[in-house]
A = this chain, B = another copy of it.
């Protein structure tokens, strides 16, 4: 006989509570002590259950504050000429971007290689957060060649849109020339931004965009909240 562990039973109960809307996105769950009392178990058993929910990305604990319900899933189409803003609109959610930081500094070796620069050449680095319906779905970092795009930071600062900023700087169009994808565990910073816990699955995407002449104009890394996003690759380019 393989008995179901108590913590699993509690985890399932809490999952149902969330699924059926008794706790909404952003809500705070009862404290561990309260949950332990109501289920008649030790607090550690509740912690084990909450750890499971956190691992699944359903909740994220914040020390000293409480345990909060995370966001639900989104669909995220990606194609050769698909841009972020259009993507989210297509899935019926309201998109958004938040600038986290915007600096100009020397390129490291990897960045230089990706952008066809020499290490040490100046690059603009744009760190930001992508939102859908106000919920964070991705953190990204875009690196641009500063010599070629001197006015980019001002253009980016206005509304955060990479496409629009590039257009204003004379890059009317661009195409993805390479993408690498991996599933990884979220680190502490990513987890914080994406309302996940450390260790939740995230989708790493590292890509290079180039102008029509094939010159790289952006080296971008994006970390998607794994269970909240599906990338759709349509071979719709002819």
Interface residues of chain A, those whose CB is within 8 Å of chain B, are 55-57, 80, 175-185, 199-203, 224, 226-227, 229-235
Contact check: which of B56, B178, B233 meets A179 at CB < 8 Å?
B233
Q: List 19 A-B contacts (CB under 8 A).
A: A55-B185, A176-B235, A177-B235, A178-B235, A179-B232, A179-B233, A180-B232, A180-B233, A181-B231, A182-B231, A183-B183, A183-B202, A183-B203, A183-B226, A184-B226, A185-B200, A185-B227, A201-B201, A201-B202
If over half of A's interface residues share one DSSP class (helix, strand or loop), that class is named, otherwise mixed; here it is strand
A224 neighbours in B (Cβ, 8 Å) = 183
A175 neighbours in B (Cβ, 8 Å) = 235
Q: How far is the CB of A216 from chain B (nearest CB, A)?
A: 13
A152 to B156, CA, bound (A): 55
| Inter-subunit contact A230/B182 (CB<8 Å) | yes
A177 to B232, CA, bound (A): 11
A220 to B113, CA, bound (A): 35
Q: How far is the CB of A177 from chain B (nearest CB, A)?
A: 6
A203 to B180, CA, bound (A): 12
| Inter-subunit contact B183/A184 (CB<8 Å) | yes
A230 neighbours in B (Cβ, 8 Å) = 180-182
A80 neighbours in B (Cβ, 8 Å) = 235
Kindly report which residue of chain B lies nearest to residue A206, judged by CB atoms. B230
A234 neighbours in B (Cβ, 8 Å) = 178
A202 to B202, CA, bound (A): 9
